[in-house]
Amino acid sequence: MGLVGSLFSFIVFLSCITAVCGQGTRIGFYSTTCPNAETIVRTTVTTHFGSDPKIAPGLLRMHFHDCFVQGCDGSVLISGPNTERTAGANFNLRGFEVIDDAKTQLEAACPGVVSCADILTLAARDSIALTKGQSWQVPTGRRDGRVSLATNVNNLPSPSDSVVVQQRKFAAFRLNTRDLVALVGGHTIGTAACGFFTNRIFNTTRNRADPTMDQTFVPDLQRLCPLNGDASTRVDLDFGSGNTFDTSFFNNLSRGRGILQSDHLLWTNPTTRTIVQEFMASRDSFNAQFARSMVKMSNIGVKTGVNGEIRRVCSTVN
């Protein structure tokens, strides 16, 4: 792991013993009941990543969408009519087959032991490591929820949200502004559909792009997302470095090259700009904060003990 990696793991460990970890979750939860659990998840994610690197941001996004709706209980994994997966905000989620694959292997090795919620949390962490980000220790011990309703998907951040609205949505889960900027920094990997930002590059009333954008960057986006083109076509959120977990996303924000309006505003808002500048200047600072923020987020509303269940199949309740 190296000195820096060990330091980050120690930071996360300290966070856990100062009550950041959810009640009932702990590092090494499966050390005796399923000692190879994390290895099985990591190997599965690595295999799928080898075939399709885009699976990494997909798993990270799925974990985020799970935690922001009823807590990190794997409810986003449940399939069927009117479940969370059918909500508009979740139409483009991907990576379900990775979680299902890992679950099949874990059920063979340790039946009824490892929750789908923990598999998703571990897979999100492993996705960061595979895209050259820093790994960290994940507290485990979550149990799976039994309820998944599309109508509950109503608090996810939107590409059009102001910084104030973003702060309010994160604060609802006890995530502060540093957590907000760090977690949005996860956009250093992944893509956005053209339909989420064509209003910024084609304004029919003024017949020009958003003037706060880098105007030399606009033609590139217009070429990738023509006005009458397919709105579902996807573009890297971190233009020029969309497959590597680094700080170039923040550098792009400072240059007026934020793709989504909500991302762009992190630079124009004085409070968040200070944090963006910090992360731009230090990849170690960003990695350390991202790890801390992920641990905090991954313990939103966790179910432990006698609450929830351990699903035998992640896409359906027992």
The residues facing 179 across adjacent strands are none
For residues 131 and 54, what is the distance between their CA atoms, to the nearest angstrom?
Answer: 10
Residue 168 host element (H or E)? helix 163-171
Query: Which residues line the annotated binding site?
Result: 66, 69, 71, 73, 75, 84, 157, 187-188, 238, 246
* 63 is an active site residue: no
The residues facing 235 across adjacent strands are 192
182-188-190-191 Cα dihedral, nearest 10 degrees? 100
Query: Which residues line the annotated binding site for substrate?
Result: 157
For residues 197 and 182, what is the distance between their CA atoms, to the nearest angstrom?
Answer: 22
Query: Which residues line the annotated binding site for heme b?
Result: 187
For residues 292 and 175, what is the distance between their CA atoms, to the nearest angstrom?
Answer: 11
Burial of residue 110 (number of CB atoms within 10 Å: 0-12, 13-18, 19+) = middle
Give the DSSP letter of residue 191: E
Burial of residue 126 (number of CB atoms within 10 Å: 0-12, 13-18, 19+) = buried
Query: Which residues line the annotated binding site for Ca(2+)?
Result: 66, 69, 71, 73, 75, 84, 188, 238, 246
Residue 281 host element (H or E)? helix 270-281
User: Could you give the residue numbers annotated as active site?
Assistant: 65
